[in-house]
Chains A and B, each alone.
Chain A
Amino acid sequence: MLTTVAVLFLGIFVLVPLFAVFGEALKNGLGVFFASFNDLAAFAAIKLTLLVAAISVPANLLFGVSAAWAIAKFEFPGKSLLVTLIDLPFAVSPVVAGLIYVLIFGAQGWLGPFLQAHNIKIIFAAPGIVLATIFVTFPFIARELIPLMQAQGSEEEQVALSLGANGWQTFWRVTVPNVKWGLVYGVILCNARAMGEFGAVSVVSGHIRGLTNTIPLQVEILYNEYNFVAAFAMASLLAALALLTLLIKSLVEWRASARSALQEPQVYA
């Protein structure tokens, strides 16, 4: 009974819309579908989205790993504050996140006059979009790693040090391999969100066609112009990304569980 409810619910709210996206995109045939991408604005949106992900995912990888490492392996004052701050983007609406950046870097913002005087563009330009995306996606990797690292403790690291390894060797040879799958999973989720983020990016982007539109913003513009096939064609890119993400995620989980099955205590003696 419960299974039926779950399957029905999932079908109505997830599968049908997903098929609808591809259905609408392909309504007028493959030719029209591909023609939608043969457009400067579409091309620019894809390029910008890839650029934003290419900057924000590595930035959050660096931040997430160091934050998780610090939180899980060390005691320091302000630790609980840091943990709370990491969760902030989950708690606050992305639109608010975008507005914060407008407030700081916008023409009327705190740093506005300074930035204008030096001819630096952040809001209504790519840097603002990158900043907003980093903000929205920074919990993903840290959140994935913290419980994992906490569960593993730091004894293996202490042993590595006692065996003569330096901090760098300990990190790369002991800590990272132990959280490898969690790390891959975190990066996948972070990337999916970085490419798909709408709210925060919408506030700071300014929607300049061909310049500051990412794929989700481009979808909205096309849709509002009743250009449904092109809108759904762009949307199908994001939907395909979601499917790919889920596929990689299942692969990672399958690998990780195969690995942990092997790590179940087995007594041979």
Chain B
Amino acid sequence: MKIEAKQLVRTFGDYLALDKVSLQIEEGELVALLGPSGSGKTTLLRVIAGLDFPDSGSVLFDDREATRLQIQKRGVGFVFQNYALFRHMTIYKNIAFGLEVVRRKDRLKPALIRERVFELLRLVQLTGFENRLPAQLSGGQRQRIALARALAIEPRILLLDEPFGALDAMVRKELRGWVKQLQRQLKITTLFVTHDQDEAIEIADRIVVMNAGHIEQIGTPIEVCAEPATPFVWEFLRGHALA
């Protein structure tokens, strides 16, 4: 699905988190929102998800107005930095959640839900973990379960908040490649927030560099590295380049 943000403004008291932010994300793209903390990248992600609402401006999904649409109606898969797995539910129940809360008349038959959950477990390479509790999994495994749970509802877009932030360096590198591969395979429009330049350069199709509530530059990793549009981008990406 195509996502468009037009002139988004969001303030928290005196603090301007989003200052007339506009951008367009094409169907099937993997886009990184890159910036230091406090740059507004997570706020932008939450506004697109419907977890937060802008003071002014609009969000369009496939050219249709979605600014005030409730999160339930948006069809977004959202993954939190700390995964927010339902701690009292087994892995199976976690993944099945989005399928089981559907209104009875639209709900899949239990056998089909079961099939879908196991299919997702295969997809994230965690077959056999269905009866574990979230606490019995490693960070990387929890991350993959959070993705599987988000994918269960067949979202039109995938939004990831610092998806690799809580992982140690080794696992992080491994998961990055895996997420990119998965995104290619599913061709789902994906937006992820990161403060890690290398991470954005390595896996994103395009990078949105943010600073102090506004967008400094939007471009492919090569563009932002080779032709930084502002002194901030040059400074922020200095020393980082395509490997």
Contact = CB atoms under 8 A, between A and B. Distances in A.
Given A164-B72, A169-B101, A159 B80 contact: yes
A162 B84 CA distance: 12
Most buried by B among A156, A162, A180: A162
B78 A162 contact: yes
B51 A162 contact: yes
Given A158-B78, A162-B51, A162-B77, A263 B87 contact: yes
Contact of A156 (B51, B86, B136, B137): B86
Contacts of B85: 156
Interface residues of A, number: 25
Chain A binding surface, main DSSP class: helix
Contacts of B97: 160, 163, 165, 173
A58 to B, nearest CB: 24
Nearest to A162: B78
B105 to A, nearest CB: 14
Given A156-B84, A164-B72, A165-B101, A265 B135 contact: yes
Contacts of B50: 162
B102 interface: yes
A174 interface: yes
Contacts of B102: 164
A262 B72 contact: no
B87 A262 contact: no
Contacts of A173: 97, 101
Given A162-B77, A165-B97, A156 B71 contact: no
B80 A164 contact: no
A262 B135 CA distance: 7
Nearest to A157: B84
Interface string B216-227: 000000000000
Contacts of B77: 162
A264 B72 contact: no
Contacts of A177: 88-89
Contacts of B88: 177-178, 180
B51 A158 contact: yes
Interface in A211-269: 262-269
A164 B153 contact: yes
B141 to A, nearest CB: 6
Nearest to A180: B88
Given A262-B136, A264-B135, A162 B141 contact: no
Nearest to A168: B101
Interface string B126-137: 000000011111
B140 interface: yes
B28 interface: no
B80 A163 contact: no
Given A264-B135, A265-B135, A268-B136, A164 B87 contact: no
A94 to B, nearest CB: 37
Interface in A157-204: 158-166, 169, 173-174, 177-178, 180
30 contacts: A156-B86, A156-B87, A158-B51, A158-B84, A159-B86, A161-B71, A162-B50, A162-B51, A162-B71, A162-B77, A162-B78, A163-B150, A163-B152, A164-B101, A164-B102, A164-B153, A165-B97, A166-B72, A166-B101, A177-B89, A178-B87, A180-B88, A262-B135, A263-B134, A264-B135, A265-B135, A266-B135, A266-B136, A267-B138, A268-B141
